[in-house]
């Protein structure tokens, strides 16, 4: 019997050098093509024009790029020390079609890849000094999304870093936990409890890697989905942080997104979550983590499509584009400005369909 290839092997695409090369070409060409097409007709109808949305996104990305330091970090505060923020910034550029190897922002993304490879611990941990497992999972998601888009020397860095980062996530899920917390993740790899916020990022990183060819055990996805459903309130329709109701306005979009990305489109929880969000999304500005919730609501409702996405996106663009600062960033006191601006850009660029993890089933608008 041939030796079975595991997720921890360098070849995460499961196709050898030829398979990796083919995937890289496809992803780079798709990014360039979609980036060119995104300027027109990408943003579904809102009160603001496509051009106004495009301009806001480009101003935000320009501000992020101007703040990047030569070592790949950003600013002089939290964003300088938090790997998860670097990764969110990187995904913001990818989400607009600015892939490595292209100007003007490809080098920004490439520096983030290099920095993450440099700071990764020997055991594979990417949580760094500040962000813990949140940062580790977000950084892992970014590396998985950018894998196949970069030149060979950077791909070698990803091939060395990503399998070890995935192993951290998979091993953390296996830590013995009680029935309520089983299948999830929390602040440290050794945690014996779970929260839905961290677990959502972990699940998305595993799903992204699996889509990119990594040998992610199906039971890991299955156990994570079961954990997500234990955070769901069937009566209210919400998803909670460590229960079924706390931070519901912020996290219900995460439940909708995670289930949709994992093929649970027909699960009744998806419809219940969408109804809850449509009743509550205008309360997002009252939440401590508004942009975090807006990111998840945008991603989740776009997966659903139809009137829900149209209504929400119109509110999102009309509400937040006027609040962009003259310099190009957003800031409502919700952690670091680079974090906030990256999250807004990621929410705004959902319809551009650039990040592979967030591709939508195009039949949703026909149902």
Q: Which domains does the chain have, with CATH numbers?
A: 16-352 (1.50.10.20)
**Residue 3 pLDDT exceeds 70:** no
- Kindly provide the residue ranges of all beta strands, DSSP E only, lying in the chain, ordered along the sequence: none
The secondary structure of residue 282, as a DSSP letter, is: G
Measured CA to CA, the distance from residue 174 to residue 274 in angstroms comes to 31
State the residue for tokens 């309520």.
180
> Hey, what are 242's tokens?
């460590």
Over residues 215-266, the pLDDT tens digits come to: 999 999 999 999 999 999 999 999 999 999 999 999 999 999 999 999 999 9
Over residues 349-364, the pLDDT tens digits come to: 999 988 888 875 444 3
Asked whether 221 and 207 are in contact (CB, 8 A), the reply is yes
Measured CA to CA, the distance from residue 260 to residue 255 in angstroms comes to 8
Which H helix or E strand runs over 18?
Answer: helix 16-37
Asked whether 196 and 255 are in contact (CB, 8 A), the reply is yes
Q: Which of 264, 274, 263, 284 is nearest to 310 (CA)?
A: 274
> Hey, what are 103's tokens?
């100007």
Task: Tell me what the mean pLDDT of segment 176-193 comes to.
Answer: 97
Per-residue pLDDT at 26: 45
The secondary structure of residue 5, as a DSSP letter, is: P
Measured CA to CA, the distance from residue 167 to residue 250 in angstroms comes to 29
Percentage of the chain beyond pLDDT 90 is: 80
Per-residue pLDDT at 45: 46
């Amino acid at each position: 019997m041939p030796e079975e290839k595991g997720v921890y092997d360098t070849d995460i695409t499961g196709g050898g050098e030829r398979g990796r090369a083919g995937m890289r070409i496809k992803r780079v060409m798709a990014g360039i093509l979609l980036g060119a097409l995104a300027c027109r007709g990408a943003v579904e109808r809102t009160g603001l024009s496509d051009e106004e949305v495009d301009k806001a996104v480009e101003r935000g990305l320009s501000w992020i790029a101007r703040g990047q330091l030569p070592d790949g970090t950003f600013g002089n505060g939290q964003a300088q020390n938090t790997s998860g923020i670097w990764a969110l910034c990187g995904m913001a550029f990818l989400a607009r079609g600015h892939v490595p190897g292209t100007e003007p922002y490809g080098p920004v993304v490439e520096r983030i890849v290099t920095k993450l490879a440099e700071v990764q611990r020997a055991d594979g941990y990417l949580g760094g000094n500040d962000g813990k497992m949140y940062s580790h999972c977000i950084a892992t998601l970014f590396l998985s999304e950018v894998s196949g888009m970069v030149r060979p020397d950077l791909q070698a860095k990803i091939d060395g870093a990503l399998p070890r980062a995935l192993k951290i996530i998979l091993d953390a899920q296996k830590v013995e936990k009680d029935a309520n917390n089983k299948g999830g993740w929390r602040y440290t790899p050794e945690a014996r409890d779970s929260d839905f916020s961290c677990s959502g990022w972990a699940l998305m990183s595993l799903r992204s890697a699996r889509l990119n060819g990594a040998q992610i055990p199906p039971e890991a996805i299955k156990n994570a989905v079961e954990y997500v459903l234990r955070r769901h309130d069937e009566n209210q329709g919400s998803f909670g942080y460590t229960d079924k109701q706390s931070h519901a306005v912020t996290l219900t979009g995460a439940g909708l997104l995670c289930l949709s990305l994992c093929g649970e489109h027909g699960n009744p929880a998806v419809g219940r979550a969408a109804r809850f969000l449509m009743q509550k999304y205008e309360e997002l500005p009252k939440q401590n983590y508004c942009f975090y919730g807006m990111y998840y609501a945008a991603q989740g409702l776009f997966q659903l499509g139809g009137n829900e996405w149209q209504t929400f996106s119109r509110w999102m663009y009309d509400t937040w584009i006027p609040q962009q600062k003259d310099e190009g960033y957003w800031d409502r006191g919700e952690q670091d400005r680079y974090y906030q601006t990256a999250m807004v850009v990621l929410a705004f660029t959902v319809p551009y369909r650039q990040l592979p993890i967030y591709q939508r089933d195009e039949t949703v608008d026909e149902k």
